[in-house]
């Protein structure tokens, strides 16, 4: 069977998180060489690298903060230099925090948008330079159902993820002329990752409200990301692709 991403070179931010690590592994399974971002080198990064190599692919861990412009540029430059180019970017880095607006500090708001939205801007800006030069590439941003549906979700998290959807729409139009596709996958509640910050009662409520009757698994999102990053999704541009269990 032909692999979806044979010979492609990918960068996944947030690559040691529950979702990011699943995406990195499945992109590798589908034939991609994978660089992945991590906030620091260590056991988590080693596990992700080992999982990628188990698929017979090269793994390149890159320690950087997506909210730090200089660090982002250095990481993307290293990725391009060591992989020989960049075909796929997946913006999976993200944080969450369970705090009501009335108790939220300004630095809570600022950090949430710095990682979840500014980070997408910075990494896309750096990655677009080599993609424009080769006149080809795919960017898959990771939004959230919290930014598109009225749910019990922290407002700064919801605002940051709604921003990712708007960012995707505008960028897809801007860079299509260079042969670059931009899409956004919108997960529902998942087991692990930011789902760890959701109270058990809300997880149970989500399961009752969605058609699937349960929260999702990171691998289920990663499978869709791999498809969106492939040439088989060549007519998919800009739109939010919901993978939320049918909310």
Are 27 and 88 spatial neighbours (Cβ–Cβ below 8 Å)?
yes
Give Cα 106 to chain centroid, integer Å. Answer: 25
Rg (CA), the chain: 17
For residue 240, the number of C-alpha atoms closer than 13 Å in the C-beta half-sphere is 21
3-state SS, residue 51: helix
Q: State the alpha helices, DSSP H only, in 36-117.
A: 43-54, 69-83, 106-113
Phi-psi group of 139: left, alpha or beta (phi > 0 → left; psi -120 to 50 → alpha; rest → beta): beta
Q: Going by C-beta distance under 8 Å and a sequence separation of 6 or more, which residues neighbour residue 192?
A: 18, 19, 218
| Active centre residues (catalytic) | 157
Rounded Cα distance between 125 and 55, Å, is 30
CB atoms within 10 A of CB 237: 15
Decide: helix, strand or coil at residue 59: strand
Burial class (CB in 10 A: 0-12, 13-18, 19+), 192: middle
């Amino acid at each position: 069977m032909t692999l979806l991403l044979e010979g492609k070179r990918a960068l996944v931010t947030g690559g040691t998180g529950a979702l990011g690590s699943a995406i990195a592994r499945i992109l590798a399974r589908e034939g991609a060489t994978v660089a992945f971002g991590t906030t620091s080198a260590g056991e988590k990064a080693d596990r992700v690298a080992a999982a990628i190599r188990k698929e017979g692919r090269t793994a390149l861990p890159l320690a950087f903060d997506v909210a730090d412009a200089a660090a982002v540029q250095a990481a993307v430059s290293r990725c391009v230099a060591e992989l020989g180019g960049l075909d796929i970017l997946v913006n999976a880095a993200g944080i969450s925090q369970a705090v009501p607006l009335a108790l939220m500090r300004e630095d809570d708001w600022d950090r949430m948008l710095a990682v979840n939205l500014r980070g997408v801007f910075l990494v896309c800006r750096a990655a677009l330079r080599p993609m424009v030069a080769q006149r080809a590439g795919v960017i898959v941003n990771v939004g959230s159902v919290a930014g598109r549906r009225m749910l019990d979700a922290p407002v700064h998290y919801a605002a940051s993820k709604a921003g990712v959807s708007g960012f995707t729409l505008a960028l897809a139009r801007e860079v299509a002329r260079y042969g670059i596709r931009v899409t956004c996958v919108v997960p529902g509640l998942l087991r692990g990752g930011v789902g760890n910050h959701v109270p058990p009662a809300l997880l149970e409520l989500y399961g009752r409200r969605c058609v699937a009757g349960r929260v999702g698994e990171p691998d289920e999102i990663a499978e869709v990301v791999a498809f969106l990053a492939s040439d088989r999704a060549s007519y998919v541009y800009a739109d939010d692709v919901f993978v939320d269990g049918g909310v």
